Amino acid sequence: MKLFNRQKVLLNTIEELNEKNINSRRAIVKSLFLLKEEHNISTQMSFYHFFAYKQGPFSHLCFDDLRRLRDNNLVDDEETTITPKGKEVLSQVGREHRKTIKTMLNKFPNEKKITDYVYQKYPGYTIKSELIEQVPKSSFPGFFTIGYEKKDIDQFLNALVSNNIELLIDIRRNPFSMNFIYIKDALQKKLKDVGIDYLHIPELGIESEERKNLNTKEDYDKLFAMYRQTLPLKEVYINRIIELGTTKRIVLLCFEDDYNFCHRGEVAKVIKSRGHEVINL
């Protein structure tokens, strides 16, 4: 198995935790989170992203990597302990970030200290935690938009959870993606896990045929000019979105990162024209 840089750090972190007799996936994730937040490791490589989940900051990508390490016999079946083969591989690829990992872990004698520190310093990542009592918090209803382009699922969920989104409205004509996690059923499951409802309104989407050969801003301008002409015929769907957004925090979803190159931007303009603020995440 050829290791990505983040996987080398993951394996090295497990090794250092084991040296402290800590064998826990929770401790692994919290340690990686602290490496990102306090030791700038994400500026040196493509690293993990995190979102608030049932036990604090969580990363789907980290758990995916743990399974890969397990399947290649680099960690044990519990995914918490480095194997002799894992140590051998680390010796071959090097422990480039060992000093940083040791420095980060030196202040924590056990897993509880790691968890307590993260919970005290980063309360924004504990809002979904089942380890502490949650005090119900109210948020003002509102309208948001988001594109999943360039975002892994952890980045995407963090944007939604940190903004207290309650409902995602998918306005893709066809809720399919080359990135399988954003296909309707898979996405709906991930959203449900963090307490966000899903609604698909394909009538507000643009046919795939019309989206071909979009190479310049002028191409997009022509497409959106045609799209705007169809919106009066879709008033019932826009009214439904506005009704929902006046009672809860909703986000409109499509692909493009820049909403100026996405039809959700045109829907947002209509919502704004009705006197509502729309924030792009």
pLDDT digits (tens, 9 = 90+) for 30-81: 999 999 999 999 999 999 999 999 999 999 999 999 999 999 999 999 999 9
pLDDT beyond 90 at 147: yes
pLDDT tens per residue across span 204-249: 999 988 888 899 999 999 999 999 999 999 999 999 999 999 999 9
Class of CATH domain 142-280: alpha beta
Which pLDDT score is estimated for 254?
97
Residue extents of the structural domains in the chain:
5-125, 142-280
Strand partners, 200: 170
Q: Are 7 and 90 in contact (CB under 8 A)?
A: no
Chain segment 86-106, per-residue pLDDT in tens: 999 999 999 999 999 999 999
3-state secondary structure 86-141: HHHHHHHHCCCCHHHHHHHHCCCCCHHHHHHHHHHHCHHHCCCCCCCCCCCCCCCC
